[in-house]
């Protein structure tokens, strides 16, 4: 037996082990691939599309308005939603217009045909849960872009989501391949 062959085999073997280890670390701590289930984010994202979730994005900063995120409910079920309301804000929706702290805010990402039913801050956050009349520190209001078909923060079962419920920011669409690209 040639010693060089054994040495070469060991080098190759450890190279493969390192590669597999790096992939495991990447998919456990850095990114995730998630399918879009349902039509709550239509037309931005459609059922069956695949996206990449950056798990590290919020280690470097706080979630921001309009971020599309992977968020979990109290049972651990995963959803794709858009952040609309931030801590310290009062959110209302009147006549298809979003109001943040009583100032209208244009949602340029929504097509004109998307209608959002009116709701007031008090409809989804009682004074008991939001004693100052604003979203509490560490919580966020998330909505689907397809407001008529989205289970989101307007629902008492879903409600405002804690920051730790936001598992990552959706950064790329990878499927279908013809629509591959960054998501804003």
Residue positions annotated with a catalytic role: 40, 81
Average pLDDT of the chain is 89
Place of tokens 């794709």: 80
Query: Which CATH number, 3.40.50.720, 2.10.109.10, 2.30.40.10, 3.40.920.10, labels domain 3-176?
Result: 2.10.109.10
Tokens of 88: 């310290």
Q: What are phi and psi of 149, to 5 degrees?
A: -125, 25
**What three-state secondary structure class fits 113?**
coil
Q: How far apart are CA 67 and CA 14, in angstroms?
A: 40
Are 40 and 146 within 8 A, CB to CB?
A: yes
Q: How far apart are CA 91 and CA 84, in angstroms?
A: 8
Task: Compare 16 and 65 and report the one with higher pLDDT.
Answer: 65
The domain segmentation of the chain, as residue ranges, is 3-176
pLDDT by residue (tens digit) across 78-115?
999 999 999 999 999 999 999 999 999 999 989 888 88
* Predicted structure pTM score: 0.85
Name the nearest CA neighbour of 114 among 37, 39, 38, 182: 39
pLDDT given at position 157: 87
Share of the chain above pLDDT 90, in %: 55
């Amino acid at each position: 037996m040639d010693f060089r062959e054994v040495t070469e085999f060991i080098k190759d073997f450890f190279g493969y082990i390192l590669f597999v280890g790096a992939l495991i670390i990447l998919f456990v701590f850095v990114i995730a691939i998630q399918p879009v289930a349902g039509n709550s984010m239509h037309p931005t994202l459609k059922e069956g599309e695949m996206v990449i979730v950056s798990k590290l994005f919020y280690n470097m900063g706080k979630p921001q308005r309009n971020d599309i995120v992977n968020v979990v409910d109290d049972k651990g079920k995963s959803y794709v939603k858009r952040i609309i309301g931030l801590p310290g804000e009062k959110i209302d929706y009147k006549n298809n217009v979003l109001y943040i702290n009583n100032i209208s805010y244009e949602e340029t990402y929504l097509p004109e045909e998307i209608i959002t039913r009116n709701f007031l801050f008090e409809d989804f956050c009682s004074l008991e849960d939001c004693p100052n009349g604003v979203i509490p520190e560490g919580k966020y209001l998330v909505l689907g872009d397809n407001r008529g078909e989205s289970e989101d923060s307007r629902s008492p079962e879903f409600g405002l989501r804690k920051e730790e419920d936001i598992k990552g920011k959706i950064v790329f669409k990878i499927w279908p391949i013809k629509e591959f690209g960054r998501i804003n």
